[in-house]
Structure formats: structure tokens, C-alpha cells
């Protein structure tokens, strides 16, 4: 995976929003039409951003009938995270509390209350 290409793809707000939705959806993915509806994107705009994310290796799709179901490429996402954190805490990922995401539901951290 090309880290520069992946980071460049995610540096655009709409693509980051699309990728975030696909990561949250997990391996089952989301139909393209539903992505467009959730983000309020015209199909041509959505198609352009999906193409860029696919080119960067961050998402994939499969055809189900007439629908295209998009999903995050978790292996490539984890490779990017590993690349970004390989020197974290002098190479000891456990000390950083870091890990990898396998696409299963991740419990969100509890929000901190401020007074």
C-alpha cells in the first residue's frame, strides 16, 4: 500500500467522511446510493470520490444485482496505521495502547465530562 496516496486521498473532507462511514459500517459495506443519501452527494460527485479512495487502496466494492456495495479495506487501513505508528513509543505499540482494527464493532470511549 502506498501511504502517500492513501493519506492524500483521506486529506479531502468528503473522502474522509465516506471512508469513516465505511469503517463504521464494517465488512458488510454500504450501497453506493445509501452513501450518497447519507452524505447528500450527487452521484457524479460520489463516484469521483469513491474512485479516488479505490485507487488509494482504501476501499473496495462488490456488485450485488444492480447495486455496488462499498466497504473499507481494513487490511490496508491497518497497514497505514502501522506505518504511521511504527515508531510510536520507541517501537513498543503495546506501550502506546495501540492496536489494529479488524472491522468488528469497536466500543467508543466514554465522553469526558467537563465542568
CA neighbor of 78 nearest in space, from 52, 107, 62, 99: 99
Q: State residue 84's pLDDT score.
A: 87
pTM of the model: 0.79
Cβ-based burial of 40 (10 A; exposed 0-12, middle 13-18, buried ≥19): exposed
Rounded distance between C-alpha atoms, residue 112 and residue 22, angstroms: 26
Higher-pLDDT residue of 34, 101: 34
Higher-pLDDT residue of 113, 40: 40
Residue-wise pLDDT for 50-103, tens only, equals 999 999 999 999 999 999 999 999 999 999 988 888 777 766 666 666 555 555
Structural domain spans, the chain: 1-115
CATH number given to 1-115: 1.10.10.10
Amino acid at each position: 500500500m502506498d501511504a502517500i496516496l492513501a493519506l492524500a486521498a483521506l486529506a479531502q473532507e468528503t473522502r474522509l467522511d465516506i471512508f469513516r462511514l465505511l469503517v463504521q459500517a464494517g465488512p458488510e459495506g454500504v450501497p453506493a446510493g445509501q452513501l450518497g443519501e447519507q452524505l447528500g452527494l450527487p452521484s457524479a460527485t460520489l463516484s469521483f470520490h469513491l474512485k479516488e479512495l479505490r485507487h488509494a487502496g482504501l476501499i473496495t466494492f462488490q456488485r450485488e444485482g444492480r447495486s455496488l456495495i462499498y466497504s473499507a479495506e481494513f487490511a490496508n487501513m491497518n497497514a497505514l496505521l502501522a506505518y504511521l505508528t511504527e515508531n510510536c513509543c520507541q517501537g513498543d505499540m503495546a506501550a502506546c495502547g495501540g492496536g489494529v482494527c479488524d472491522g468488528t464493532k469497536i466500543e467508543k470511549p466514554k465522553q469526558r465530562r467537563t465542568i
